[in-house]
Amino acid sequence: MHVPTKTCPQCGAGIRENDARCPDCGAVLHVSQAKAPPHTGSHTAAPPPIPTQANLPPELADLHAPKPSQPLEASGCTLFFFLAWTLFSALFLVVGVGTYLRDSSAYHRLSREGLPAVAVITELDFDSDEDSIRYYVAYHFQASFEGATTRFQGLDNVSSALFSRLEVGQTLEILYWPAGPSLSAVKAELPPPSLTVLLGFGGIGGLFTLIGLAMIVSSIIGIVKMSRLRIGGQITQGIVFKKWIDTDADGDTTYFVAYAFNAEMPGKGFQRILRAEQNKHLYDAVPVGGGLMVRYLPDDPHICRADTIR
C-alpha cells in the first residue's frame, strides 16, 4: 500500500508524489516535470495536450455553469457609459414633455381667450419626407396690442384638404392671444395638443432614463463590492471548468468563462462556489482545467474577482 508523503496546500488531504491534482478538492498541484529526452533534430516534440472538458476531475466535469455576470472590474467603465446614456435619454424626455406642455398651453390660451381676426395669406409651402407631407400657411394680420394696432405674422400647419383650397393673397380667419398676438392659429383647424411627441420622445426617453438609472445603481454597487474585496478579500485558487462563445445576429462575439473555487466561510468550513462571467481576458489566458487566482469575501464568497496566476 502506498502511503501519501505530501499534503494538498488547499485542503490538507494526502496526495501522492506524482499527483497533478488533489483527489479531494481538485486543486492544481505544482509537480516536477520529467526531464525531456534529448533533441535528435529529426522530430519535433509534440506540444502538451490542451485541457478539455473530458479530462477534468470527475467532480468538476459534471458541473453546470451558473448564469454569467459582468466582472466587477467593469463597474467603473459601466458607470461612465450609463451616466452618458441617462443624460442623453433625459434629453429626449425633456423634449417630449416640454413640447407637449408648450402645445397644450397654446391650445388652451387660444381656445379660451383667443380673439378672431382676418389674416392675409402671404405664402403657401409644404415639407415632405418618406412617411408624410406637412402643409404650411404663412399669413399676417392686424391686432391691437399695448394700445396700438400692430401687424403680426403667423405660420400654421394645416390639413391637405384646407391647403388645396388656399391661395396667396386670400383671406382666412384666425385666432390670436390678446396678451401676446404672436401666438396665433388658423381658426378652422385649431388642433388639440398631440400625444405623439409626448409618447414618442417622452415615453421612450423616460423608459431609457429609468434603465440608465438602474444600471448606474448597479455599477455603484459593483464599485462598492470591489472596494470591499480590496480591503477584506481572501485569496484562493480556482479552476476553469467551462468556456464558451456566444455570437449574436450581427456577428458580435462574447466570451464566457466558468470557474469553481473552495471558499472558507467563518464557522461553516469550506464551500464550493461556482461563478461564470463574461471575460475575454480569462478566456484567452486560462484553458479549461487551468488554475486562476480568486479573491473573495469570506462572509459572501459570491462577491469575488478572478485573475490569472502571476
CA–CA gap between residue 223 and residue 136 (Å, rounded) = 54
Q: What is the CATH classification number for the domain harbouring 163?
A: 2.40.50
53/241 Cα distance (integer angstroms): 7
Report phi then psi at 250, rounded to 5. -85, 0
CA atoms within 13 A on the CB side of 146: 4
Is the overall model pTM greater than 0.85, yes or no?
no
The pLDDT value given to residue 248: 85
Residue pair 291/267 in contact by the 8 Å Cβ criterion: no
Angle at 243 between CA 29 and CA 28, to 5 degrees: 5
In a domain, 124, yes or no: yes
pLDDT value at residue 16:
72
Residue (of 183, 225, 206) closest to 76 by Cα position: 225
Question: Which amino acid belongs to residue 201?
Answer: F
Task: Express the helix, strand and coil content of the chain in percent, nearest 5 each.
Answer: 30, 35, 35
DSSP category for residue 9: T
The 10s digit of each residue's pLDDT in 274-307 is: 999 999 999 999 999 899 999 999 888 988 989 8
- pLDDT at residue number 217: 92
Q: Strand, coil or helix: what is 88?
A: helix
**Domain residue limits at 149:** 103-194
> In whole angstroms, what is the distance from residue 303 CA to residue 229 CA?
8
**Vertex 245, ends 222 and 221: CA angle to 5°?**
5
Is residue 262, in this structure, part of any structural domain at all? no
Q: What is the 3 state secondary structure string of 94-143?
A: HHHHHHHHHHHHHHHHHHHHCEEEEEEEEEEEEEECCCCEEEEEEEEEEE
How far apart, in Å, are the Cα atoms of 218 and each of 79, 83, 300? 8, 12, 17
**Residues ≥6 apart with Cβ < 8 Å to 196:** none
All three cell numbers of 209? 432614463
Residue 280 DSSP SS3: helix
- Whether the CB-CB separation of 306 and 259 falls below 8 Å is answered with yes
3-state secondary structure of 249: coil
pLDDT in tens, 236-276: 999 999 999 998 888 889 999 999 999 988 877 888 999 99
Cα–Cα distance, 174 to 154 (Å, whole number): 10
pLDDT at 56: 74
> Would you list the DSSP string of 176-211?
E-TT-TT-EEEGGG-PPPPHHHIIIIIIHHHHHHHH
Looking at the domain assignment, is residue 71 inside a domain? no
Per-residue pLDDT, 293: 92
Whether residue 135 lies inside any domain: the answer is yes
Q: Which residues pair with 125 in a beta bridge?
A: 136
Q: What pLDDT does residue 216 have? A: 92
- Grid coordinates representing 114 are 383667443
Rg (C-alpha) for the chain, rounded Å, is: 36
Residue linked to cell 472558507:
264
207 in a structural domain? no
pLDDT beneath 50: ranges in the chain = 1, 31-37, 39-51
Domain annotation covers residue 34: no
Q: Is residue 164 part of a domain?
A: yes
Residue 47: inside a domain? no
Residue type, 234: Q
Task: Retrieve residue 265's grid coordinates.
Answer: 466561510
The pLDDT value recorded for residue 27 is 65
Q: Looking at the 3D structure of the chain, how many domains does it have?
A: 1
The helix/strand count (H/E) of the chain reads as: 6, 12
